[in-house]
Structure 1
Amino acid sequence: MPLYNDSLMRTLIIQLPPGLPSPTLAYPHSWVEAEPGSRTLKLQWAAAALLPAADRQTETVALVPAAALSWHRVELPTGLHKQAQRVQAALQGLLEDRLLDDPDQVHLALQTDWANTPRPWVAACDRAWLSAHLQALEQAGLTVHRIVPELSPGTTASPVQLTALGDADTGWLWVSHPERGVWGQPWSALHPAGLTAHERLGLSEAERATATLLAEPGAVAMATELLGTGVRLMPPAQHWLAAVAGDWDLAQFGLRANARSRQLKNWQRTASSLGHSPAWRPARWGLWVLLAAQLVGLNAWAWKTRADWQVQQSSWAQVLRETFPQTTLVVDAPLQMAQQVDRLRQNSGQLGAGDLEAMLAALGQSLPPGLAAPRQWSFQTGQMRLQDFQPDAAQQQALTQSLSALGYAWRVQGDGWLMTAQTEAKP
């Protein structure tokens, strides 16, 4: 179970006290700063009205104490994930015989990936107690974005985790078991009286051999005495970081208020993790390399395209100079070539596509059978406007296709028709 939070957002963790809210009830709380090096929590206490304010860039997390939760594994009916409105009722029915209180008085929450888990975990706590604390924090101006358990069972791949909290007089030893949930006992119940501490906790020899033990400073001596060696010192409340880093969120069913705000914070945590977490550094480098390769490729493609265009322009200019040596300045080689050819044609007396005779001949050749030639028309070089000319749809299509094959455009203009030589038409 990791003892750090992968998210680099600033986080305010508030542990919910065991009793109901009151003006004098103190809430343990701590900040988790955004800087990766600032991962040691500084625990503080304050009444709800005196808790620190949280801005929009801060995620507020309510931490449910381990003593306030019970854990249960259930086998859900097949296809229940497709009927979200029936999930809560199904859980209440399955756990009715295992809960100490009436199911209507208990808040239930499923693990995140419950739809893909054969026997998912369900966390249960007193609904009235939890709702009262959330309302007290809301009245203090704090919007809770996530509700997480102080300790959770973990995954099947994780070893048994022992967590010693508090001091020798009032502390508890908690067990986080991937198959049996979370349970604990006070130190006073673990003193030798015929059974070892591990036996009183219900742990086998194999589980004892592989278990990891974390202890707060006030519980280190007692944990070493009762459990033997292998105790790792943990700063006070440092296990909160593992709770926040997990994927649990108890804000389900009737406590789904502020769901949109929680979703936004989840996106912000994910974006912050992708942008700053060391675990994602290879992916970030790969993304930058990919973007750089794309940029280099685009620049190379643009350079190649420009080089090809310049070669083509140079070849056109060379053809123009070789064909018409009198040309001294080349600005637009294809246009200047067309102008020179047109000038030669005019000087030789040949008809061009934009001359009246050529256009009338093309029109006469393209007229469909049964369509009389127009009686009114006007002409300027390259353009002929026709009036009093009414071809039907089929005749118009045939006329357009025929004139296009001869190099002329044909379209409606106002109440008449316009025929233009495509080689001389202006854009």
Structure 2
Amino acid sequence: MSILVVQIPPRERLSADDGAAAPRGGGDFAYVLSPDGLAVGSSGRCAAALLPRADTVLAVLADTDCSWLRATLPKAPAAKLRAALLGLLEESLLEEPEVVHLALAPKATPGEPTWIAATHRPWLASQLAVLEGAGLLVERVLPAAWPDATQPHGHFSTVPGDDPQAPLRLTWCDVDGVTALRLQGSLARQLLARWQAGEAPPRWTATPAAAAEAERWLGTPVQLLSDEERMLEAARSLWNLRQFELMPQHRGMLALRDAWRQFRSPPWRPVRWGLVALVAVQVLGMNLNAWQLRSGIEQRRQAMDQVLRSAFPQVRAVLDAPLQMERETQALRTAAGRPGDADFESLLSAAALAWPEGRPPLDGLRYEPGRLTLPATGWSPQEIEQFKAQLRPGGWVVESAEGRLTLRPEGGA
């Protein structure tokens, strides 16, 4: 299950504009392609149209493109939750509410304090449009750093284009939020003293280009963490900034793809093997059942053939035992002078037994092999129903149409 994580370039801040950067459709995106979300497979930088394809596509924001607010999640319907959040955080926002995009922390509970991520909505929407215009279905948008209550984390990285005297930037995240600042002046030193005095020992990481400078400034070794590895760390988080108005319109497809990817994941391998075994057992069972049915049918056919040969030794070739037995029985009955159910005498006798009282004798009738047609002109519906009801228990079928009654044995044509 391959995963493509795309780094969205930092937003350009323009003092004379509304703060939105123009969509950079021709700009390059840094990316990392991983076969499993853990190891780096390949990485690089290219235009959106040239990005590799993968089963899952995620996007990561820069540290400075996401601000963090702490508030109690209001108890509001889903359709009105964003408006309730804007009203609650209006005084804390750095930009106009109509251009701010908000996203809740994973597993946020109404009525409980939670972290809320804020970013510039038109800019983020334009970047997602560039990626999706290149055929990439971005399922989640992730922050590069987020408030972490488990272990404080400080990450050093270079800031291209900054003052050469202060080329590093430190991103600090802990239970109190996320702070991104340059290593210049006394503020970083003051905060460092407070961070190191905390109860939990912090985790210090740095990109390879910033590691030496970071260790000199910090006075302690740091763990190397490349930009690609940091992007994969963000991909393993539960965060998703595609909420509210930026929620994907193809949620059903995403849910289906998520379910399919989960089914293909290693933890589901026993389930897959179990389903394969179940299908194999079902196929084997159906074939065995079909073989048993064919064997039973063949045994019954042989038994009927044996009955035919024993009852009528003169029959040499058995082609259709039931039909041949019926013909031979009919021939014996005819030879003995006994009428069959479909003969004229049997049909006429049955009709006479059920004939309504007060009805005059018949003016005429018509006989066909197995069928006797009687005129019923002037019969009332009650008489017709009584006639049918008296003959039905004896295995006779009576059909009425156009003033005629047709009598035949049940099962006859």
Summarize the alignment of residues 11-410 of structure 1 with structure 2, pairs less than 5 Å apart: 11=4, 13-19=6-12, 20-21=21-22, 26-30=27-31, 32=33, 39-44=40-45, 50-53=47-50, 61-78=58-75, 80=76, 83-111=77-105, 113-114=107-108, 118-134=112-128, 141=134, 145-151=138-144, 153=146, 159-160=150-151, 162=153, 164-167=155-158, 169-177=166-174, 180-188=176-184, 193=189, 197=192, 199-201=193-195, 204-205=198-199, 207-208=200-201, 214-222=205-213, 226=218, 228=220, 231-256=222-247, 259-260=249-250, 263-275=252-264, 277-367=265-355, 375-389=363-377, 395-410=383-398
Offset at 1:125? 1.0
Query: Would the alpha carbon gap of residues 319 and 13 (structure 1) be closer, same or farther in structure 2, given more than 3 Å must change?
Result: same
Offset at 1:368? 5.5
**TM-score when scaled to structure 2?**
0.78
Offset at 1:194? 6.5
The range that moved more, 405-414 or 293-302, is 405-414
Question: In 2, distance between residues paired with 1:414 and 1:163?
Answer: 98
**Do the aligned partners of 1:13 and 1:60 also contact (CA within 8 Å) in 2?**
yes
Q: Deviations along 1:124-154, whole A, 9 cap, x unmatched? A: 112243244345556x655653351233648
**Do the aligned partners of 1:108 and 1:124 also contact (CA within 8 Å) in 2?**
yes
Offset at 1:57? 7.4
Query: Would the alpha carbon gap of residues 323 and 30 (structure 1) be closer, same or farther in structure 2, given more than 3 Å must change?
Result: same
Q: Which has the larger radius of gyration?
A: 2
The 3-state SS of whatever aligns with 1:259 is coil
Q: How many residues align?
A: 398
Q: Deviations along 1:353-402, whole A, 9 cap, x unmatched? A: 10112112222333456777765532112112344457665555544444
The 3-state SS of whatever aligns with 1:310 is helix
Q: Deviations along 1:35-59, whole A, 9 cap, x unmatched? A: 8898334131x5xxx4325799776
Q: Deviations along 1:33-89, whole A, 9 cap, x unmatched? A: 668898334131x5xxx43257997765443223211234544444x3xx3321111
Question: In 1, distance between residues paired with 2:24 and 2:138?
Answer: 23
The 3-state SS of whatever aligns with 1:420 is strand
Question: In 2, distance between residues paired with 1:114 and 1:165?
Answer: 30
For 1:4, the equivalent position in structure 2 comes to: none
**Aligned AA for 1:107?**
H
Question: In 2, distance between residues paired with 1:36 and 1:331?
Answer: 69
Question: In 2, distance between residues paired with 1:142 and 1:310?
Answer: 61
Question: In 2, distance between residues paired with 1:155 and 1:325?
Answer: 95
Q: Deviations along 1:237-296, whole A, 9 cap, x unmatched? A: 22223434555443333334x612x64355335424433x32332222122112112212
**Aligned AA for 1:65?**
A
Q: Deviations along 1:20-42, whole A, 9 cap, x unmatched? A: 13669844322526688983341
Taking only the aligned residue pairs, the percentage that are identical comes to 25
**Do the aligned partners of 1:190 and 1:200 also contact (CA within 8 Å) in 2?**
no
Offset at 1:352? 0.9
The range that moved more, 348-357 or 290-299, is 290-299
Question: In 2, distance between residues paired with 1:154 and 1:27?
Answer: 29
Query: Would the alpha carbon gap of residues 296 and 25 (structure 1) be closer, same or farther in structure 2, given more than 3 Å must change?
Result: closer
**Do the aligned partners of 1:109 and 1:124 also contact (CA within 8 Å) in 2?**
yes
Offset at 1:173? 3.9
The 3-state SS of whatever aligns with 1:43 is strand
Please tell me the root mean square deviation across aligned C-alpha atoms, in Å.
Answer: 4.0
